[in-house]
Structure 1
């Protein structure tokens, strides 16, 4: 009887070590915004590796050996989804051989699955360049949608590591309170932007514009992934000289030449905005800085 009880204790002890890891969770974040969110919601119970920096275009990343090695050890994969990582995430998952982070597993978390997407297309078309048919994936630029993702990511951490459920729940509640307060402050600031017209490099800013009530006066490129032409810029310049435009904006990783050229032609400032937070930068600091530069 004692021997059977001993075996049962050993069995359940080993089972608990498998299901409820005592070590910190290894989190693989595809973009800096999700790395920052995972660090905030996980605290000391997570080790976060971010696959890209805010100096990179997340559309064009290679599944290099270093990334594969990190993915192989991950307990949780946090990415945008909606096709943003279509060119490199599938090969990375396949090469990693890590069952924990495959599609359909608790360790596979796509932020875009938990919000309503804008710019959905009925059918993909090769002439669209880098347009995502399932919807625009750049949801982190809307603080309300980011809050929705934070709620779901906090829940997912509790599912993967139930031993530390109380820890994750406390950090989630703390973040949600602080973020809601920040949203109220940002909404007050953003009233100065409502109804203003801006020229964008491409469609990546749609969620920020929708949240702040900013109109789009034009785009430097005809479609994402297709470079601007001199003919397009000339026509855009002629049209915008008759319109009231507040600013030209482009992401910090994008070529500034077209924006600066148009700025000189029509006398409107061109502003580079950090598309994602910097290394170890809190989300609140990044969005505050982005909004201040836009104002």
Structure 2
């Protein structure tokens, strides 16, 4: 018993408390710091643009040594309030315990000017970096550097975990690119720009958007225009994700006789436990659609 007590009392490696805004960063942290206490403000079935500052989230952020979020204004509608209520100096903007992925990658879709007529757009670009293998590698390096800064006693552990993850990720990326080669040049209609990085990486063309403007739900007139588009353009699927309203996608899919895919948007659901499974699942579902459709 004294031996067990000593073991439980011994300091644990990677014992940082880490708060993430999205599940993809929780999954990444678990690769890099498997013993950390990790929480996520959202799940793969929640819209990361809109989160309530619930007491449970306030409590988690208050205890956090490090917070990791996408940035690029994705959390601008709720994170500042959460930071204020948590009253944790370590995870305020500009402090050592606050890391934004957007600060470490180049975003697609950056805009010089933004006004309300453009809808719900991000001047800093598309914040859904986790569907870009190259950007995931860059973010993993930035997170590891931050872990070492906050917990230098376990520097060798973090660096070894990064090396292991990077090797497995590079090998998986090469496999995914070979597997997904038949998707290059294919056209889809999708909801929002949620999968912009995935499409850009795989060479898929998002020929139409279910939203008439970013942040606005599909209208009857807009769906009619998309239906007309499908008559002249070889679309392989209509795509949306779990937190988006699928009624417009289903309406269009039924009338255009197109497959409708609800692709998983993040790890943690039934279809994807981690980042590797997330990529595996999305590519598999897209390929199955292609195999079942003569385009």
Scaled by the length of structure 2, the TM-score of the pair is 0.90
Instruction: Write the deviation string for residues 169-216 of structure 1: whole angstroms up to 9, x where unpaired.
Output: 111110000000000001101211100000011112111111000112
Residue 233 of structure 1: aligned partner: 223
Alignment root-mean-square deviation, CA? 1.5
Partner-residue secondary structure (3-state), 1:276: coil
Distance 1:100 1:59 in 2: 23
Partner-residue secondary structure (3-state), 2:184: coil
Note closer, same or farther for the CA distance 1:191–1:22 as it changes in structure 2 (3 Å cut).
closer
Residue 25 of structure 1: aligned partner: 16
Distance 2:24 2:286 in 1: 19
- Quick check: 2:185–2:205 contact (8 Å CA) kept in 1? yes
Distance 1:282 1:174 in 2: 15
| Counterpart check, 1:254 vs 2:244 | yes
Larger radius of gyration: 1
Residue 90 of structure 2: aligned partner: 100
From 135, 138, 158, give the equivalent of 2:148: 158
Distance 1:23 1:266 in 2: 52
Instruction: Write the deviation string for residues 120-139 of structure 1: whole angstroms up to 9, x where unpaired.
Output: 11111112222111111111
Instruction: Write the deviation string for residues 133-154 of structure 1: whole angstroms up to 9, x where unpaired.
Output: 1111111111111111111111
Q: CA deviation at 1:21?
A: 9.2
- Quick check: 1:21–1:161 contact (8 Å CA) kept in 2? no
| Counterpart check, 1:293 vs 2:288 | no
Partner-residue secondary structure (3-state), 2:235: coil
Partner-residue secondary structure (3-state), 1:259: helix
Distance 1:245 1:140 in 2: 25
Q: CA deviation at 1:22?
A: 7.2
Residue 7 of structure 2: aligned partner: none
| Counterpart check, 1:38 vs 2:29 | yes
Distance 2:12 2:64 in 1: 12
| Counterpart check, 1:112 vs 2:99 | no
Note closer, same or farther for the CA distance 1:22–1:277 as it changes in structure 2 (3 Å cut).
closer
Distance 1:54 1:250 in 2: 13
Scaled by the length of structure 1, the TM-score of the pair is 0.90
Q: CA deviation at 1:48?
A: 0.2
Q: CA deviation at 1:224?
A: 2.1
Residue 192 of structure 1: aligned partner: 182
Residue 284 of structure 1: aligned partner: 276
| Structure 1: gaps of 5 or more residues | 1-19
Residue 128 of structure 1: aligned partner: 118
Distance 2:91 2:189 in 1: 39
Distance 2:16 2:179 in 1: 37
* 1:47-86 alignment runs, 5 A limit: 47-86=37-76
- Quick check: 2:13–2:154 contact (8 Å CA) kept in 1? no
- Quick check: 1:202–1:220 contact (8 Å CA) kept in 2? yes
Alignment length (residue pairs): 275
- Quick check: 2:14–2:34 contact (8 Å CA) kept in 1? no
4+ residue runs over 3 A deviation: 20-23
- Quick check: 2:14–2:33 contact (8 Å CA) kept in 1? no
Residue 273 of structure 1: aligned partner: 263
Partner-residue secondary structure (3-state), 1:68: helix
Distance 2:208 2:13 in 1: 53
